[in-house]
Structure 1
Amino acid sequence: MGKYKWGAVSAVLSIGVLAGCSATPEKGGDTAKNASPSASAAASANAAKKDDKAAAGSPDAWKKGTRVGAAGSLCELPVSFDVAKMWQPKGLKPEDGKLLGEFMGHKSARGACEIDAKPAGNIGFIRVWTTDPTKKSPREVLEEFTGEQPRVVKKEFSDTKAGELPAAEVSYTTKSPLKDEPQQERAFAVVTPKGATVVHLGGFDNTEHKEMLPAYEMAKKSVAPVS
């Protein structure tokens, strides 16, 4: 199905590994010796996850890393912005971006870039969506974008700035068929002569979403048009 589906699949697999299986040691036995292979693997994965989280909480985690958007960068977009140092951007081919839009219900925009949070110890992406040149305002772009997304239950729009560009932002929740708690999501949009850009932050759950917000805010504050 393409790289975006593998991203979703790998995230689910990561959760399975991190959750692991617990084993009860035999009475009077040595815990390490009696631990099952699956429990040992889970313990190792949990330790690695803690190390990743500790690294993500270090000052380096939220320093500027690469910059995407300009010609020759990892993602070529109508605007450029900074990516947090420990996040990994990857540009999407046009056919993959279109397929991602179809998969996630977006017809008005196509996927252009996925910025993976796993190297920073989180499960989720900042996804960047683009459109052809448009006369719509940033808010109209976001209204259409969220209107296409299934199971949206609450939306709050606001006018803001992304870098020095006029922008609109939306904070919203979606109802997951797999979870009782509504999922928090956020996005901002800007419009330039080259088209609209929507920068979206989801996350595996609300805890992951909250922990990834600094990277999203870094992107928003550093936006500049691409000449």
Structure 2
Amino acid sequence: MRSAVVRGMAAAAVAVGLVAGCSGGGDGKAGDDGKAGKGTNASEQASTVGSKGSACELPVTFGIAAKWKPSAIDTTPDPDADGELAETLTEDEMAELLEGLATRGPVIASCEISAKATGKIGFLRTYIEMPEAGADPRTVLEGFVAEAEEHADEKYTSFKAGSAEAVEVVYSELDPLFEERRTTRAFAVGTPEGTVVVALGGSDQGDEKVVLPAYELAKESVRVSG
């Protein structure tokens, strides 16, 4: 019964636990490894994320579009958090719940780049392969897609991220909030520290002027760190 209650509260905790758990570090401005530029059919690059000292330190770096804001996702429970959920669960249970909400198949969320400042509801969420999974990018991406609601029509395409192997998937899924199918996409890049998945999300993710080009920019500019 307790487990059922906890899971029943999980949906309401997504925004509170993960979004409030984001550490809004630096502004993600370009460093030596990310000079501003413009990718083919993509938004103009305003900054980069992933390098040491950026808002999200990752095994990869990639460009982010103007006004998109990166924040690291922190699944560490906030001891000062208020609310019914925080009062109901122990610290260990809260940590387990937050990690479960951040986990999708073989990967766990580590960074979110939000389009909120552009007036759009869109985001790029970055996941990292869970320790010792050891799978290639295609296998990791298949495990990621397997968690999507009523996923179908998957189309996988291999590409190079610099010298690294990478794979993109475009597929359809059921949006449980709006009860309609939509097309979405994600890509995975293999690194010595595990496979990284970057996924497009949000209700405006199909926007061809702001949201989709920002995803294309990330895909075209992604490189393995170091």
TM-score of the pair, normalised by structure 1: 0.67
| Distance in structure 2 (CA, Å) of the matches to 1:162 and 1:5 | 29
Overall identity of the aligned pairs, in %: 39
Determine helix, strand or coil for the equivalent of 1:194: coil
Name 1:19's counterpart in structure 2: none
Q: Secondary structure at the match of 1:157?
A: strand
Aligned partner letter, 1:84: A
Larger radius of gyration: 1
1:81 aligns with 62
Please state whether the residue corresponding to 1:90 is helix, strand or coil.
Answer: strand
> How far apart are residue 155 of structure 1 and its match?
1.3
Question: Which residue number in structure 2 is paired with residue 214 of structure 1?
Answer: 213
User: 2:70 corresponds to which letter in structure 1?
Assistant: P
Q: Cα distance, 1:175 vs. partner?
A: 1.3
Unaligned runs of 5+ in 2: 1-12, 22-41, 78-94
Confirm whether residue 111 of structure 1 aligns to residue 124 of structure 2: no
**What residue is the counterpart of 1:181 in the other structure?**
180
Counterpart check, 1:71 vs 2:70: no
Does the C-alpha gap of structure 1 residues 98 and 155 become closer, same or farther in structure 2, counting only changes over 3 Å? farther
Matched residue count: 174
Distance 1:141 1:101, change over 3 A: farther
Change (3 A) 1:76 1:118: same
Tell me the amino acid that sits aligned with residue 187 of structure 1: A
Q: Which one-letter code corresponds to 2:58 in the other structure?
A: L
Q: Which amino acid aligns with 1:4?
A: L
With over 3 angstroms needed to count, the CA separation of the structure-2 counterparts of 1:170 and 1:221, relative to structure 1, is same
SS across alignment from 2:202: coil
Q: Deviations over 1:32-88 (max 9, x none)?
A: xxxxxxxxxxxxxxxxxxxxxxxxxxxxx9322221111211001111111112201
Cα 1:212–1:98 change in 2 (3 A) is: farther
Query: Which has the bigger relative contact order, CA under 8 A and spacing at least 6?
Result: 2
Report the equivalent of 1:4: 18
